[in-house]
Amino acid sequence: MTTDTDGVAASRPERPVRLAVRQSGVDAELAELARAEPGSLGHPGETLVALPPLLHICAYLEDELIGHVGLVLSAVRHGIETDDVAGLGHLLVSSRHRGHGIGGILVHAAIALAGDWDVRGILGFCEPDLVPFYERFGFTPAGPGVTVGQPGGRTAPLPASLTSVWRPLGPPALAVLGSFELLGLPF
Ligand SMILES: CC(C)(COP(=O)(O)OP(=O)(O)OC[C@H]1O[C@@H](n2cnc3c(N)ncnc32)[C@H](O)[C@@H]1OP(=O)(O)O)[C@@H](O)C(=O)NCCC(=O)NCCS
């Protein structure tokens, strides 16, 4: 792995992957990446109204976007407590480039960035078969009994096809997240 002046990581030194953190201007490239991988983005936006990322962490090979993960700032109510959390979503690596550590680099970068925010953990939604992937990065399953915000002040249950995963950040970190209400749109 190599690092360049932008804090760039590469999984294969002969073909360096450049990481860039962007706030905007990624939509067209991301749509193109997702279009090439039909049905592969298992996230709440497929069935619910979802938030676009606030920050995009992009992996480029030369000028091509080959991987992406998004971060949002959100909040959860659990029991009588309400806490700010970072939300991780829109994780996708081009199928031509999977298995070379790029997904892991993106998740590590998201955790590192969210660690600078004043939040108690980082939350993601994924299909159940991806839980072992997230567990590699310190996430554990959260819930059950998860609801998410929808337009007009409505709430909706998290679709049964999705599970939530939680990684404490802090201090003070929230070690375990059980049943919770996401106070905003999912991501
Ligand atoms: C999930 C995804 C992002 C992983 O990207 P990737 O670049 O292939 O991941 P990495 O190569 O960094 O894998 C990191 C580790 O996780 C493991 N891993 C990868 N996919 C996994 C899975 N589905 N389940 C369990 N472990 C997995 C890898 O074997 C690797 O382990 P290693 O470090 O021991 O070699 C990629 O497969 C993808 O884009 N999938 C489709 C979109 C998707 O499901 N997004 C998530 C929506 S929540």
* Average pLDDT for 167-181: 94
Assess whether the C-beta atom of 108 lies below 6 angstroms from ligand 1.
no
CA 80 / ligand 1 centre spacing (Å): 35
C-alpha distances in Å from residue 143, one per residue of 14, 137, 161, 166:
42, 18, 14, 9
- Res 38: pLDDT: 73
CA 85 / ligand 1 centre spacing (Å): 23
- Res 13: pLDDT: 42
- Res 39: pLDDT: 66
Residues 6 or more apart in contact with residue 1 via CB below 8 angstroms? 9, 10, 11, 13, 101
139-155 pLDDT, tens digit per residue, is 999 999 999 999 999 99
Higher pLDDT, 134 or 43: 134
CA 57 / ligand 1 centre spacing (Å): 16
- Res 170: pLDDT: 84
Assess whether the C-beta atom of 96 lies below 6 angstroms from ligand 1.
no
Domains of the chain from N-terminus onward: 3-182 (3.40.630.30)
Assess whether the C-beta atom of 41 lies below 6 angstroms from ligand 1.
yes
Residue 1 predicted with pLDDT over 60: no
Residue 120 predicted with pLDDT over 60: yes
Assess whether the C-beta atom of 92 lies below 6 angstroms from ligand 1.
yes
Atom of ligand 1 nearest to the CA of 98: 8
39-94 pLDDT, tens digit per residue, is 666 578 778 999 999 999 999 999 999 999 999 999 999 999 999 999 999 999 99
CA 63 / ligand 1 centre spacing (Å): 22
